[in-house]
Amino acid sequence: MNEAIQQLNGTLSLIAPDAVLLAAVCIIFFIAPFLVNDKGEAPVGLRHRWGFFSLLTLVIAGCVWWQCPPVPRTLGMFALDELTWYIRGLTLASGVVLVLLHWNQADDARSAESHACLLAILAGVNLIAAANDLIGLFVALELVSIPTYLFLLLPRRDAPAQEAMLKYFLLSIFSSAIVLFGMSYLYGATGTTSLAGIHAAFAATHGQAANPLVAVATVMLIAGLGFRLTAVPFHFYAPDVFQGAPTSGAAMLSLVPKIAGFVALLRLMVPATGAEQAMTSWTMTPAAAPLLWWLAVATMFVGNLMALMQTDIRRLLAYSSVSHAGYMLVGLIVGLEHEIQKDVLNHPVVHSVSGIGAMLFYLAVYGAMTLGAFAVLIAAGRKDKRIETLDDLSGLSRNRPALALVLAIFLFSLAGLPPTAGFLGKLNLFFAAWSQGYESSRWLAVILAINAALGAWYYLKVIGVMFLREPIDRSEQPAFTETPSLIAAGICLAGTLGLFFMPGWLWVPIQSIMP
């Protein structure tokens, strides 16, 4: 009995920040119904209180996170290594921005539940990062998916939002099923659900012939998680859902599932640091690398080419998020190839940039710039009319010059121009791919560069609309002040510019992840 309690305590200390978030979720779900009357009305301004409560929760979780430094990996359900620690920090920081974005999106009566869903999603992402077991990984993935459906529906219940939610719901369970399928094969091939055990099983099969079961599992897992990454051809939901969902929902979808998907892939593909390296054995990577190569190329091209033709700003950002997933896939592939090389040659090759490091850096940078862009869209909207098409943005520089400038900075960053963090992020990815030395990864670097140029085309188009066109809507409505999203935009701006001048802040912890 005592031993069990001790074990539980030990496990809890590994996931303490997530436990804080989930506790807050329970509290909100318990209290919220009592504050709404029978007609479904709530006191005016209740959403501010729930917003502050969410922020407070995130701050407490952040303190707990800071107090829980990485520990050596164990064989239990959860692990707290450098990757977990980094991803937790990233999720909590983006959580703060998302809470601020979501502040006024839901009305008073429904804000409690939607905030709780957001916190649950964040906890889910953290648990994915901490997962050390296939079961834990799957449960954590679902902890991200299921609250997402509610999060998309709760703020607005009009027809477009319902349609968007339903599409996301159906395709998401489809992808979850594929992931589960892949996991079952992986279990069948290795006989264990522990990730460390699976990698150990791979390592034990020295020089054995490739296992078709593992190959099928690899394809299934990549396809299922590719849905979260919006990798082509699993990206179709993104434009429709981004367009229909509330802006904060679109912002959340543009970042959080990507973190979840990439971390899950990393956990499945790369043995934990310090573990025995598998030599010349059949791991998942050799099957995954060429598949991911094609996925990355298709994702970059489809995302950018489709974005070129969009007139709806959300659809444009959706395709932009597809293309950025492609850029990050480049980093992942290069990193995985690096791992194989390490295996085959059995000595660490000194590279200028680690692909996985570049990918993790880009993830943070992408979070800052894309959330910032959504924050400006929320702040630039009017009470009765949100920003939908490119035309709604025309002449923004006349009406709200500061906002237009800030959005321009985020778009410059997305396009990868200095002095913004997006430039350094793309530079890292490019270096990582180029210095790998393989022909295939050199091609990836070239394709990445071509796509960066394609991307600049439509980002600059938006900037042109804001700065060169006359405002279309001349109605003298008072611009409605969205203080929380202005603060969020400020945080993202600080990140986007700060990471250009001080990339070391992020780069140093990342380098400890992948030595």
Partner 1 sequence: MTDWLKENVLWLIPAAPLLACLWIVLVGQVVRRKYAHRPLVLGLVVSLAASLYLLTVVVPQGFAHDEHEVSHSVITFVYQWFKVGTLDIPVTLRADAMSALMLTMVTSVSTLVAIFASSYMKGDPGYPRFFAAMSLFVFSMCMLVLAGNFLLLFVFWEAVGLCSYLLIGFWFQKPSAAAAAKKAFVVNRIGDFGLILGILLVWQTCGTLDFATLFDSSFVIDQMVRQQPEIFHWICLLLFVGAIGKSAQFPLQVWLPDAMEGPTPVSALIHAATMVTAGVYLVARCTPFFVHAPYIQMAVSGIGAATALIAAITALTQYDLKRVLAYSTVSQLGYMFMSLGAAGAGEGLAIHAVTFAMFHMFTHAFFKAVLFLSAGSVMHAMGDVIDMRRFSGLRKVLPITHWTFLAGALALAGVPLLSGFWSKDEILAVLAAASKGSAHGGFYQVILGIALLTSLMTAFYTFRAYFMTFWGPEKFPEEAGHHPHDAPPAMAGPLAILAIAALGIGLVTGPTHLYGHYLHHTPGLPHADEFPLDPVMMAISSVLAIAGIAVAYLLYVASPGIAQNLKRSLSIGFKISQEGLFIDWCGYKFVAAPLRTLASICEFFDRWVVDTIVDCFGFIPALFGSVIRPVQNGMVQNYGLVMMIGLVVCLISVLRALAGTM
In the chain, the amino acid numbered 14 is L
Residues 225 to 264: which contact partner 1 by CB under 8 A? 227, 232-234, 236-237, 239-240
What's the min distance (Å) between Cβ of 209 and partner 1? 6
218/370 with CB nearer partner 1: 218
- Of 389, 435, 440, 512, the residue at the interface with partner 1 (CB under 8 A) is 435
When asked if residue 416 is in the footprint of partner 1 (CB under 8 A), the reply is: no
How many residues interact with partner 1 (rule CB under 8 A)? 46
215 token code pair:
């190959």
CB of 354 to partner 1, least distance (A): 9
* Binding positions for partner 1, 96-155, rule CB under 8 A: none
Compute the least distance from the CB of residue 8 to partner 1, in Å.
39
Phi-psi region at 43: left, alpha or beta (left = phi > 0; alpha = psi -120 to 50) = beta
**Residue from 55, 203, 272, 305 binding partner 1 (CB under 8 A):** 305
Q: What is each CA distance from 451 to 65, 298, 299, in whole angstroms?
A: 37, 11, 10
Cis, peptide link before residue 286, omega less than 30° from 0:
no
CA proximity to 132, closest of 271, 228, 260: 271
Per CB under 8 A, does 280 bind partner 1?
A: no
CB 295, min distance to partner 1, A: 8
**Would you say 194 or 436 has its CB closer to partner 1?**
436
Q: Is 174 in the site for partner 1 (CB under 8 A)?
A: yes
Q: Buried b / exposed e across 171-195, counting CB within 10 Å, b at 16+?
A: bbeebbebbbbbbebbbebbebbbb
Residue 287 interacting with partner 1 (CB under 8 A): yes
Q: How far apart are CA 304 and CA 207, in angstroms?
A: 41
- Centre a 10 Å sphere on the Cβ of residue 38 and count the other Cβ atoms it contains: 5
Contact between 504 and partner 1 by CB under 8 A: the answer reads yes
> What does the H/E/C string look like for 484-496?
HHHHHHHHHHHHH
Rule CB under 8 A: is residue 349 a binding residue for partner 1? no
Q: Is the dihedral of CA 375, 306, 148, 258 positive or negative?
A: negative
- Go through the chain and tell me how many residues it has: 515
Q: Which is nearer to partner 1, 371 or 465 (CB)?
A: 465
* CB closer to partner 1, 152 vs 371: 152
Separation between Cα atoms, residue 387 and residue 267, nearest integer Å:
38
Q: Round to whole Å and give the CA distance between 22 and 487.
A: 26
User: Can residue 291 be called a binding residue for partner 1 (CB under 8 A)?
Assistant: yes
Verify binding: residue 290, partner 1, rule CB under 8 A: yes
Q: Is 306 in the site for partner 1 (CB under 8 A)?
A: yes
Interface residues toward partner 1, by CB under 8 A: 166-167, 170-171, 174-175, 178, 209-210, 212, 215-216, 218-220, 222-223, 227, 232-234, 236-237, 239-240, 287, 290-291, 302, 305-306, 308-309, 351-353, 424, 427-428, 431, 435, 501-504, 507
